Structure 1
């Protein structure tokens, strides 16, 4: 072999090495000829074929075709390690599933301007290649390739477009068929799914589910339904289960929403990339699906927001990403059941009634004691209620005096009765009671002194109806109790029922004025000696001498008959006391049964010479309502609300013109209470502690109430208020009793008007600031509805080319492009994110690939570049679908 031949061979090898390592334009096998003058193809050895993706270097074809026997080679390319390679796949050792064209070429050209390619001299067996049969399957079979004229090659549109556009647009290469069609990868599956396909049906199903339930969630958040007894502790649907179920549904809505929106986004971009008249899609737009799936991507790749965030579709995606992030939070704040108060609800309630008001026999029979009537048939019931009265009275007294002790330490309070401490009480040992001072206009001491020239301490106290507690607990009224709400619930009730009341009027009188009603001070009275000097004590049978004068029905008259309403004019009998008490003592009168509805107390203060006579009587007031509040954490509280014009639940509002009715039965209850509390201990000068306390509360003279000390009438009202509560237990809610018997053998339900506000498990916000989440629920529903309409209006789905697996398959089978040059290592940056791309298809082979649609957002494709014709082949349906989709008009998305 000559030196020239060796030198020419070396130059040619280096040139072909450059072509093989840089351009990637052809995969032709290169054989070393024996001589540059007379090549002998028959004797040339067969070389192993190399397969390469084609390079995107501009003008590279010209460089190859304009070579000479001794081309000038840049020394840079002589080093294999420094050779620049294209962005495609290159492997010299193995074949790839493409159709290789194994041809031996002899490159010689008289001048660079007249290149030519010599055909193969003889047939040879190529390496195995993939051949696509009519059934769409690839067969790996060897084939014998006849030598052919490359000018009659079957280059596809994909190869042609790549050669003409990606290689710098060299028009001189349009008819050059030296390149192979090994990059053609016809799709074996349809890129279009019909509406009846499983994929389309499943997506539409998810969209319908997400739309319906996000709409339900929005309605629940707005309507804020109350679930009542449907969600309660110990029921079939406890609060913990309800919370889990609501959270589960919210999560499924969120997941379906993300799935549907990502599908919608992929359809918009994929259809845009297929439409000829659209601008295609950019890399930044391809990443928008990641915003919704992986919101942190917007932080780590903020530059993408700059490129597409201000577009209409980008703005929609940005909103969808945020509302998807906060949907479960919004559901928990606005839809998941929370304990919450509702509004006042007016309803008709029912309560058990068995007796008239203040029936002493009924009260005695229902007193809870282990001492039965058999064990003590005479006083068994009396001793039970006596203990109850005494315990409640002393309890109330201690609580009331404790309040006043604090007031005195603070410097006092008002002398106006309405602004002074209200009466305390206790019911069933777990419910606190608050009474209300009523008839305030009759309680002015100064006004009464001006009228009667004496001290008159007159107060009236109303207590709540105790029967309301039983009604609130009655299952008939279906009120959820705190124990039904894990012990933390609360509700309030206003009942339009009568309120029991007591009037205590204490009048200061001197000894002379009291003489007509004190037996020991009468002439011819039988008295006993006493250890107290000057004191007259009535004998033990003094009551037997009490009688009215012939022809009269009432006892002696007094100077205070008009104040106490005694005598024939008022139809009420005067009381008679056996004797006058000494200082710090009290004496009672409970025997004035005929024509009387009151009990009396006579007390002596050490601070004044006068005595004080107090009258106690009860009535039912129509000017009040009963307010009951119960909480699982603080217990129950019941109170009377009276003489409030704004109280629409006052009994007088339910029963107009209802009268104030005095009770004659209550005096028997009060008599038992006086005996139990030792109010009559003054007959024996016992100096009882309660009598000593009460006597020091007597108002000494005119000047009004003491601002740091309760009056005698106030304290007596507080102590005896417990009898009002026991008198209304299972008693009538009305101002009348409509039965002939004072009590019934079995209780019966009676209705009354009521208003209830309660805590129940309810949908809706618990704090005002949570209302901002309404925007999230609204936008999710609106976006779901929009996506549903969009998907329904489209007759099926196209392949989503933004999905990673589809994007990868399309990208690796697409030609290289200078538009993304240098991005293979760290990814696209800057304006590369704005390059527009279309999904194109080779009209002969059915190969799909990415095609650069321009350098910016403003460039569009020439419609002729995407013209496809329906061809009668195995992929004709796919071609038809593509042709139809590629002709779609530009969408506003």
Structure 2
């Protein structure tokens, strides 16, 4: 290229660096039209090298120059002003290739030079004079210098790539995609972490929204909640790391601040890679106790445990809520103890067409017999354990409760009631005889059907993956039975035993001394002229017989022999009872038992069911603290006796062979019962149930069948005893149930509330911080940005010896600033303790004025910021 041409272009391509800093020669224009920055190599300051250079040809080959490169000390790194390498002009040394006013450019191949000596830190705390070889390489030769920066000229269309090649950016405007995306992530993380915190505190119950077989299955819900928790965690980490980078980068750019240390640069790694705190524990010592370090340390821990906290406090778990008072509805179709309704609804394959007379009765007999014997076996098994353990109390309230079974999958427990009338000793003092009087209440069986009715919207165990559970207390009536057994001698029984009458017709018996009534003995039963009731007895007041009470006395055909029982189920005139006459082999007296049913208002029905243990229903009675007792819902409700139940109990007696004593059949159940008769006052056995107790347990099954689809009230408000279609009756109830619920299942999990709270607070703080800033500055803690600035910064004694194994000790505490050279706009790291001075000419950039102005504006705005409390 000619000299004139070089001069013309020199006016258009004015260099930003000092004219006396570099000697250049004119060189052919590279094909890429790029201007290359000089490269500077460090070499040992030895006489041999000086001699070699001084004796060298003015145009050494490229290979010889790079052979010297391999022997030089390459010191890319971070600089302070005290140890920077000033670029010294060659001075008076000239050559035919030196730059002159007419020849402003020098070929890098034609001008190898050795600079004047300068002081370089050698890593051992000493400084020595080291000459420097300065070279320039043409990119067209295939070898680029270490600090080459390229920008386009106007002739080469430099305006097209000016922003990318002509100046350094330090910030990103608020409208940029990076700022918008960070703010979006911060907003998302703040909103959802707040929602997660509210869910954990409010602990909402999801009811039928999350259930098996529904639109939102439990497994799906668990996955969705875990997914959202993970996105909150990831966005939180991203936002906090951005916040941390912004704080440190702005501090490093602000001249009034202390800058940032290497240990602080690693704080972002605590959050991203928590294990770093274990493998590099020394970093915690240097910055962990600072305010920003403490915040970062907390953020690292809460980020680690956020998913765990969400799973413990927010993800839906099966959990009980509190007791909820509500109105429930039960299906009702008949009055209490309606025998016709019970018979019609007995489940049997024998239809009315196949057996129109006894088909229903057969079904009822089998059901009653099966339930009675089942209850008897369960009850005796309980007593067998008590006897083996040495017995129990003689107080009825402390003796075993009555067992039962409903629908073969629900355990039933009855309760002894009217305890004050069951004291045998007190009755003996009043009536001078043994009176074994007990009353048993059973739960209302209709409550179970109401609990499973879809109208009440109670989640069943099968709706909760087969492991759900709930409990309810229903304010409904409870069916009850009273069994009173009285010991009487033969003479006292004579008025009510046909075979013992003076003119009775009897047959011979295989048992010596036994009188057997003839087959048609019932046809001779009639009252005396002018009377409405049969013979009087000495126990009329006790059993409430006769004209005074309006109840007919029972008449038995004959007296049973030992181990046998005989029944009476035909007493008329508004009788509500059935009777059993039994003979114990242990005493001479006979025992007469009366069984009758009534509706108790002093009870409530408890029902609970679990998918793992099954259902259980029980009566809860005579508890003054029971706010669900029927008498609380219906004040002053009376005790109502049931006359219909007598017909149900009659079928039960026949089905259980209680009348087999009429033929001296010696039935097994009769033999068992007669051995339970209390022989004398004060002889109630603490290791055996009494006859009245056992009879109550066996007949308790009829109470359950009598309340199936029957009224929940103490009255029946319909004319017909049976409805063609069932109707709903409301009743008060309390319910506690397991549902999929947010919240902890164990008290110790409450500690995770701290994690959720801190994540939300930190998110909100970061959102406010990022929103209050006009944009994002370049994050110099990001590895790629850190690397780009570090490799373009001069070396520093402050991190001497760290290139092999990394910084340690006090090197982690050295404060660094991101500084900028005023003329070129070049950014580099500077030790805060170093003076400002001039940036070494090694690191100047040739810039267009427009690009420099933009960098200066951005940097000046940031560098003048006041110190932040972070």
Fold shared by both chains (TM-score > 0.5): yes
**Relative to 1, partners in 2 of residues 1:625 and 1:79: Cα closer, same or farther, differing over 3 Å?**
same
Residues in 2 aligned to 1:879 and 1:157: alpha-carbon distance in whole angstroms: 25
- 1:23 is aligned to 2:23: yes
C-alpha distance after superposition, 1:187-212 (max 9, x if no partner): xxxxxx11111111110100000001
C-alpha distance after superposition, 1:538-564 (max 9, x if no partner): 111111111112222211111111111
Q: Which gives a bigger RCO, structure 1 or 2 (Cα 8 Å, sep 6+)?
A: 2
Look up the SS of the partner of 1:532 in the other structure: coil
Residues in 1 aligned to 2:33 and 2:851: alpha-carbon distance in whole angstroms: 40
TM-score (norm 2): 0.83
Q: Which residue of the other structure, out of 113, 116, 129, is the alignment partner of 2:118?
A: 129
Look up the SS of the partner of 2:404 in the other structure: strand
Q: CA deviation at 1:525?
A: 1.1
Residues in 2 aligned to 1:45 and 1:512: alpha-carbon distance in whole angstroms: 138
**Relative to 1, partners in 2 of residues 1:166 and 1:329: Cα closer, same or farther, differing over 3 Å?**
farther
**Stretch moving more, 606-615 or 17-26:** 17-26
**Preserved contact between residue 840 and residue 866 of structure 1 (Cα < 8 Å):** no
Aligned to 1:464: 443
**Relative to 1, partners in 2 of residues 1:826 and 1:151: Cα closer, same or farther, differing over 3 Å?**
closer
**Relative to 1, partners in 2 of residues 1:173 and 1:474: Cα closer, same or farther, differing over 3 Å?**
closer
Q: CA deviation at 1:878?
A: 3.0
- Structure 1, gaps ≥5 residues long: 27-37, 185-192
Aligned to 1:92: 81
**Relative to 1, partners in 2 of residues 1:480 and 1:120: Cα closer, same or farther, differing over 3 Å?**
closer
Residues in 2 aligned to 1:424 and 1:157: alpha-carbon distance in whole angstroms: 94
Look up the SS of the partner of 1:74 in the other structure: helix
**Preserved contact between residue 65 and residue 112 of structure 1 (Cα < 8 Å):** no
Residues in 2 aligned to 1:565 and 1:61: alpha-carbon distance in whole angstroms: 139
**Preserved contact between residue 566 and residue 580 of structure 2 (Cα < 8 Å):** yes
Aligned to 1:13: 13
Q: CA deviation at 1:877?
A: 3.1
C-alpha distance after superposition, 1:734-779 (max 9, x if no partner): 1110101101000001111111111111111111111111111111
Residues in 1 aligned to 2:2 and 2:727: alpha-carbon distance in whole angstroms: 131
C-alpha distance after superposition, 1:390-430 (max 9, x if no partner): 11101111111111111111111111111111111111111
Residues in 2 aligned to 1:120 and 1:599: alpha-carbon distance in whole angstroms: 129
**Stretch moving more, 251-260 or 57-66:** 57-66
Look up the SS of the partner of 1:79 in the other structure: helix
**Preserved contact between residue 68 and residue 112 of structure 1 (Cα < 8 Å):** no
**Relative to 1, partners in 2 of residues 1:86 and 1:584: Cα closer, same or farther, differing over 3 Å?**
same
**Preserved contact between residue 364 and residue 385 of structure 1 (Cα < 8 Å):** yes
**Relative to 1, partners in 2 of residues 1:553 and 1:796: Cα closer, same or farther, differing over 3 Å?**
same
**Preserved contact between residue 587 and residue 682 of structure 1 (Cα < 8 Å):** yes
**Preserved contact between residue 834 and residue 857 of structure 1 (Cα < 8 Å):** no
Residues in 2 aligned to 1:246 and 1:19: alpha-carbon distance in whole angstroms: 67
Q: CA deviation at 1:876?
A: 2.4
Q: CA deviation at 1:146?
A: 16
**Preserved contact between residue 517 and residue 576 of structure 1 (Cα < 8 Å):** yes
**Stretch moving more, 476-485 or 309-318:** 476-485
**Preserved contact between residue 66 and residue 113 of structure 1 (Cα < 8 Å):** no
**Relative to 1, partners in 2 of residues 1:885 and 1:2: Cα closer, same or farther, differing over 3 Å?**
closer
Q: CA deviation at 1:888?
A: 1.0
Q: CA deviation at 1:214?
A: 0.5
C-alpha distance after superposition, 1:805-856 (max 9, x if no partner): 0000011111111111111111111111111111111222111111111289
**Stretch moving more, 603-612 or 876-885:** 876-885
Please provide the CA RMSD for this pair.
Answer: 10.8
**Preserved contact between residue 391 and residue 687 of structure 2 (Cα < 8 Å):** yes
Look up the SS of the partner of 2:31 in the other structure: helix
**Preserved contact between residue 105 and residue 118 of structure 1 (Cα < 8 Å):** no
Residues in 1 aligned to 2:579 and 2:24: alpha-carbon distance in whole angstroms: 122
C-alpha distance after superposition, 1:265-291 (max 9, x if no partner): 000001111111111111111110000
- 1:887 is aligned to 2:833: no
C-alpha distance after superposition, 1:357-390 (max 9, x if no partner): 0000000000011111111111111111011001
Residues in 1 aligned to 2:311 and 2:228: alpha-carbon distance in whole angstroms: 11
**Stretch moving more, 306-315 or 56-65:** 56-65
**Relative to 1, partners in 2 of residues 1:643 and 1:82: Cα closer, same or farther, differing over 3 Å?**
same
Residues in 2 aligned to 1:660 and 1:617: alpha-carbon distance in whole angstroms: 13
Residues in 2 aligned to 1:867 and 1:41: alpha-carbon distance in whole angstroms: 21
Q: CA deviation at 1:881?
A: 2.1
Q: CA deviation at 1:84?
A: 4.3
**Relative to 1, partners in 2 of residues 1:864 and 1:543: Cα closer, same or farther, differing over 3 Å?**
farther
**Relative to 1, partners in 2 of residues 1:121 and 1:696: Cα closer, same or farther, differing over 3 Å?**
closer
Look up the SS of the partner of 2:8 in the other structure: helix
Residues in 2 aligned to 1:644 and 1:881: alpha-carbon distance in whole angstroms: 81
**Relative to 1, partners in 2 of residues 1:72 and 1:703: Cα closer, same or farther, differing over 3 Å?**
same
TM-score (norm 1): 0.81
**Relative to 1, partners in 2 of residues 1:501 and 1:14: Cα closer, same or farther, differing over 3 Å?**
closer
**Preserved contact between residue 68 and residue 111 of structure 1 (Cα < 8 Å):** no
**Relative to 1, partners in 2 of residues 1:52 and 1:727: Cα closer, same or farther, differing over 3 Å?**
same
**Relative to 1, partners in 2 of residues 1:92 and 1:445: Cα closer, same or farther, differing over 3 Å?**
closer
- Structure 2, gaps ≥5 residues long: none
Look up the SS of the partner of 2:18 in the other structure: helix
Q: CA deviation at 1:889?
A: 1.0
